[in-house]
């Protein structure tokens, strides 16, 4: 067996583990959305809430980079990687996408709810991931989008829509929310590119923790500038809340971005995105069961849509070669 063949065989044997990790990372997104949405409503300023979220995540990453050997070596490698231009410097804009994700949570979730926010951002993620993989933008190179994977992506969107359909309300109500729903749709599309850029940076620094640290620094700077520009117009935000759980959004973002940067090299952007979408949907379901918000509905459509999404991601994870062998 050649080294290349052995590597591919090993990658395929680890795929279930990588997919399970992607699902675990996706669980962080709906929890983060609920927390950041609540923080935005508490402060009365989505940008200020986003900056608080980024600051808590950045503090955690700085501590990790000072204490742990691997992250510390990655942090020290950042200036060298930038000087040597191991990747296009505009890839640093991945941190801006992270800032937009948090702003969309704090701004949109209180307006449209977690259900419609999830549908919008998942649709954008899926479309963006398809494009990124087909272009070969990520660290894993170009990955051909087979018919099976395209079908899996379509079924994923259908499953999410089905799962949240009991919470969508009337068609007229949804129509009035199309404009705010466009925000997470656009942000979700950019998340595919963010995952690819973070994956490339993780390779350059030697660890996804360093890529996540750069993300939070860049995103935090952008949010601070936005807050300062808006301050004369909007005035200061409300006082920070005393409850500790309001500050968990940043650490959860660290988990989401760090694991995404690690996984795109092994799964590609599309499969990483679909696995995380599964986690998002399962996380939303768990939140609605354990800490339901006002008006929460869980019925047969919620469960069936979740199962369809899981089946769709499983379908998309099967290599195209397996289907070609079945046809022979």
Q: Is the pLDDT of residue 1 over 50?
A: no
CA distance 260 to 277: 12
**Do residues 167 and 296 make contact, with C-beta atoms less than 8 angstroms apart?**
yes
**Do residues 61 and 196 make contact, with C-beta atoms less than 8 angstroms apart?**
no
Q: Is the pLDDT of residue 9 over 50?
A: yes
Q: Which segment of 70-74, 132-136, 250-254 scores lowest on mean pLDDT? A: 132-136
- pLDDT band at residue 326, thresholds of 50, 70 and 90? very low
CA distance 115 to 15: 29
- pLDDT band at residue 319, thresholds of 50, 70 and 90? low
Q: Which residue has the higher pLDDT, 125 or 72?
A: 72
Element (H, E) at 312: helix 300-317
Ranges 30-34, 157-161, 185-189, 233-237, most confident: 185-189
What is the pTM (predicted TM-score) of this model? 0.77
The full 3-state SS of 225-284, as one line of letters, equals: HHHHHHHHHHCCCCCCCCCHHHHCHHHHHHHHHHHHHHHHHHHHHHHHHHHHHHHHHHHH
Cβ contacts of 96 within 8 Å, gap of 6 or more: 218, 219, 222
CA distance 228 to 34: 25
Give the pLDDT score at 241.
Answer: 92
Q: Is the pLDDT of residue 79 over 50?
A: yes
- Average pLDDT for 48-55: 91
Q: What is the pLDDT of residues 273-318, one digit of tens each?
A: 888 878 887 887 777 777 765 555 667 776 777 777 777 777 766 6
Q: What is the pLDDT of residues 184-234, one digit of tens each?
A: 889 988 988 888 899 899 999 999 999 999 999 999 999 999 999 988 888
């Amino acid at each position: 067996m050649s080294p290349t063949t052995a590597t591919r065989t090993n990658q395929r044997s680890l795929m279930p583990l990588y997919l399970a990790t992607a699902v675990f990372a996706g669980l962080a997104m709906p929890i983060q959305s609920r927390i950041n949405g609540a923080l935005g409503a508490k402060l009365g300023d989505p940008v200020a809430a986003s900056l608080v979220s980024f600051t808590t995540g950045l503090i955690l990453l700085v501590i990790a980079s000072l204490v742990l050997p691997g992250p510390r070596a990655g942090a020290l490698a950042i200036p060298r990687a930038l000087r040597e231009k191991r990747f296009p410097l505009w890839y640093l804009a991945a941190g801006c996408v992270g800032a937009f994700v948090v702003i969309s949570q704090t701004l949109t979730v209180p307006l449209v709810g977690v259900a419609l926010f999830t549908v919008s951002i998942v649709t954008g993620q899926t479309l963006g991931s398809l494009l990124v993989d087909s272009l070969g933008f990520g660290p894993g190179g170009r990955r051909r989008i087979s018919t099976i994977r395209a079908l899996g992506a379509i079924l994923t969107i259908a499953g999410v829509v089905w799962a949240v359909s009991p919470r969508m309300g009337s068609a007229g109500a949804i129509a009035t929310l199309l404009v705010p729903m466009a925000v997470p749709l656009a942000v979700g599309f950019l998340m595919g590119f963010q995952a690819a850029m973070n994956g490339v940076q993780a390779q350059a620094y030697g660890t996804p923790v360093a890529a996540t640290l750069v993300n939070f620094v860049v995103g935090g700077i952008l949010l601070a500038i936005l807050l300062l520009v808006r301050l004369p117009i909007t005035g200061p935000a409300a006082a920070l809340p005393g409850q500790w759980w309001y500050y968990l959004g940043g650490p959860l973002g660290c988990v989401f971005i760090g694991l995404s940067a690690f996984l795109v090299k092994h799964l590609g952007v599309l499969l990483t995105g679909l696995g995380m979408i599964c986690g998002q949907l399962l996380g939303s379901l768990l939140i609605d069961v354990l800490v339901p918000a006002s008006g929460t509905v869980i019925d047969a459509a919620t469960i069936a849509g979740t199962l369809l999404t899981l089946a769709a991601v499983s379908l998309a994870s099967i290599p195209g070669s397996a289907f070609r062998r079945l046809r022979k």
